[in-house]
Structure 1
Amino acid sequence: MRVLVVEDERTLAGYIAEGLRGQAMSVDIAYDGDTAIEKLGTACYDVVVLDRDLPGTHGDEVCRRFVSGGGRTRVLMLTAMAAVRERVAGLRLGADDYLGKPFDFEELVARVDALGRRSRPATPPVLSLAGIVLDSAHRRVSRSGRYLSLTHKEFGVLAALIAAAGALVSAEELLRSVWDEHADPFTNAVRMTMFRLRAKLGKPDVIETVPGAGYRIVDPAC
């Protein structure tokens, strides 16, 4: 899942971003409304966590412009103004959900997860393919009953491959969905993550590399 955090309080923005990255999400940050509009115009996000009171273009206007353009991205409005009338105003602007500050981080993650599921075709919380069981709700992975300890990037890559159900997933798609805007398209990050992931999954190898095209999960039993 790819998330844009729009928050002018840099410490809070970093805290939210790092916490979401810890949930195997790809996260970009904008510190003002103008930058948010620019990023929303150049990248595809599943969820935008949008502070309402922003410098530059106000959060209300960011939401209004973005929603009027259509698209599948969901908006979670985040603000210190938690009165009922403020929540209603935010939702009427087109926000999908509203969370007041201060907030519980676990609730923020749960709301982002829920909005992310609404932004794309429904994916079961537990995925299974080629003897691998991936539980996205509890961040657990096992193969043939053996639990695996994966990094956030390894988990995200494996989730993308299993969700593709045997279809090819390009390195560029993985960079967009698992890393963030700072990922170098010429980096070997995907290749190295695949190398480590293969080692942890063990034999027989279930990740197939198709040169120049991408990666996919193959079931050795088929």
Structure 2
Amino acid sequence: MKILIVEDEPKTGDYLSQGLREAGFVVDLARDGLDGLHLAQSVTYDLIVLDVMLPGMDGWGILQMIRRSGRDLPILFLTARDEIDDRVRGLELGADDYLVKPFAFSELLARIRSLLRRGKAREPEVFRAADLELDLLKRRVIRAGERIDLTAKEFALLELLIRRQGEVLPRSLIASQVWDMNFDSDTNVIDVSVRRLRAKVDGPFPHKLIRTVRGMGYVLEPGNDP
């Protein structure tokens, strides 16, 4: 599970990052609103912990931008503002929970786990694009009725592409999401992996789903012509 923390207070941000990592989560930390919004829009997270009072852009604005983009991931507001009007405003804008500072880490962790369980209930188990089907629980890929055997990395790569089908994904995003590493322009691991995935998913079939967008990245689009 990958969590984004947007928190400008250094001690609080470091404390949350360390605690959540020790609890088994992968954590990114943004220390201002604009960096938080950029990460929220460019990286796939399972949950966001969001402060309200932030430099650059406040939490209200970040929440609105995330919801307008159609993303339905859980968002927990963590803030020193404890007025009822603030809580109501956050929930009306699309926050899933609201925790007031100071807080007990055990309560924060319990709320995060509860939100993630709810998010799992909403998440589809099977993703489809044209005649391609990816089953998360069975770890199975089928196209036109034929089973396709993929390695763990190929499955993760296809899952990212099919989850965000129609969206051009830059190599840097693919590197961080599938390999959990920063993209090195001298490394061709991503291009090689995409080529191998296409050979299995597209090679035997007349309609190609995965294509290269020159200078930008890769996209999975149902119904592309060969």
TM-score class normalised by the smaller sequence:
0.5 to 0.7
The residue number in structure 2 matching 1:170 is: 153
- Maintained 8 Å contact 2:4/2:48: yes
- Maintained 8 Å contact 2:49/2:76: yes
Matched, 1:80 2:73: no
Aligned partner of residue 170 in structure 1, secondary structure: helix
Letter paired with 1:169 = A
Q: Percent identity?
A: 38
The within-5 A match list for 1:70-219 is 70-121=70-121, 169-170=152-153, 173=156
Aligned partner of residue 28 in structure 2, secondary structure: strand
Aligned partner of residue 45 in structure 1, secondary structure: coil
- Maintained 8 Å contact 1:63/1:94: yes
Matched, 1:4 2:4: yes
Aligned equivalents of 1:53 and 1:181: distance in 2?
Answer: 30
The within-5 A match list for 1:3-42 is 3-42=3-42
Number of aligned positions between the proteins = 151
Cα pair distance change 1:35/1:120, threshold 3 Å: same
Aligned equivalents of 1:109 and 1:63: distance in 2?
Answer: 21
Structure 2: state its 5+ residue gaps: 124-135, 141-149, 158-174, 188-195, 198-226
CA RMSD of aligned residues (A): 3.2
Cα pair distance change 1:57/1:172, threshold 3 Å: farther
Aligned partner of residue 49 in structure 2, secondary structure: strand
Larger relative contact order (Cα-Cα within 8 Å, sequence gap ≥ 6): 1
If the length of structure 1 is used for normalisation, what is the TM-score? Answer: 0.58
Q: How far does the alpha carbon of each residue in 1:83-108 deviate from its partner, in whole angstroms, 9 at most, with x for none?
A: 22221111111111100000110111
Structure 1: state its 5+ residue gaps: 124-161, 188-211, 214-222
The residue number in structure 1 matching 2:131 is: none
Cα pair distance change 1:122/1:8, threshold 3 Å: same
- Maintained 8 Å contact 1:4/1:47: yes
Q: Give the superposition deviation at 1:72.
A: 2.9
Is the deviation greater in 48-57 or in 62-71?
62-71
Cα pair distance change 1:121/1:83, threshold 3 Å: same
